[in-house]
Amino acid sequence: MTVSRHSPDRGPSLGPALGPSQDIVTRFAPSPTGLLHLGHAHSALVSARLAEAAGGRFLLRLEDIDVGRCRPEFETAILEDLAWLGLSWPAPVWRQSARMAAYRAALDRLEAMGLLYPCFCTRKDIQAEIAASPSAPHGPDGPLYPGTCRALDPAERADRIAAGHPHALRLDVAAALARMPGPLLWHDRAAGEQTARPALFGDVVLARKDIPTSYHLAVTVDDAAQGVTLVTRGQDLFAATHVHRLLQALLDLPVPAYHHHGLLTDEAGRRLAKRDNARALRTLREAGASPAEARAMAGVPDGNPRTA
């Protein structure tokens, strides 16, 4: 198992040491949709050790907004496996499923600013429109939404909503950026100061009928509400910070520092996934591995002050 540190957005330095005067609060926020694997262990250990080194606090949050995939047994396994790994956190553990009112309040605020619009397009509709335009712009997650519903007549929007047509709520990113007085900046401990470019993602979905929030909205609102000052997560989420920085500005939320760590990969260089049960913490426990051995396999051995 190796930790991949390559990213075009990252520099070679891990950044300055964190001091206790900075009141460091980190968090690990898994989704209970499967068993934790060594990649999750790496992320949790990095977050906890950065907080510990600075005399700060390490929090656990469960991102369980996907009610169709989240399971109570996976939540129980997460708590047990992290405790076995040697981690501890203050109670209570926040669950996003109990925070829907906070997300609704954020959506209401954005709607009052005229920055949300209903999107009635299905995935098939979007794919067809993209296929018809060979020069369709692409972002970090693939082709961008072409903005089909952005220009719908207000009366048509109202009629379709009244008729019960399924829809998502999208953020009008161009309109949101037009409200900004200047560039939006954020700091990554490895890559240094960054200028946010939310337009990379196009008009992102902030809520759906089946899930009345989104990863982007929920994580931004919750990190602020919990007082997280250092967001630690994998470098695969580096680009998502562009969107989160815009939401912070729109909702008048504090801006944390960021630490995007390398990803744990297998011998073939593939990123570990929940389907890779052979490297699940539960499987390692049952095979007789010790917590110290698991920490070493996760790329964060005992006695190593550096985190990646």
Domains by residue range for the chain, with CATH: 2-297 (3.40.50.620)
| Other beta carbons less than 10 A from residue 274's beta carbon | 17
Question: How far is the C-alpha of 189 from the C-alpha of 258, rounded, in Å?
Answer: 6
| Percent share of the chain, pLDDT over 90 | 74
Beta strands 57-62 and 25-28, pairing class:
parallel
Residue whose tokens read 């719908």: 152
Let me know how many helices (H) and strands (E) the chain has, helices first: 10, 14
CA distances (Å), 290 to each of 88, 149, 228, in order?
Answer: 17, 54, 31
The predicted model scores a pTM of: 0.89
Give per-residue pLDDT as tens, 179-224. 999 999 999 999 999 999 999 999 999 999 889 999 999 999 999 9
Q: For residue 1, is pLDDT > 70?
A: no
pLDDT tens digits for range 68-90 = 899 999 999 999 999 999 999 99
Pick 194 or 264 by higher pLDDT.
194
Burial of 195 (0-12, 13-18, 19+ CB in 10 A): exposed
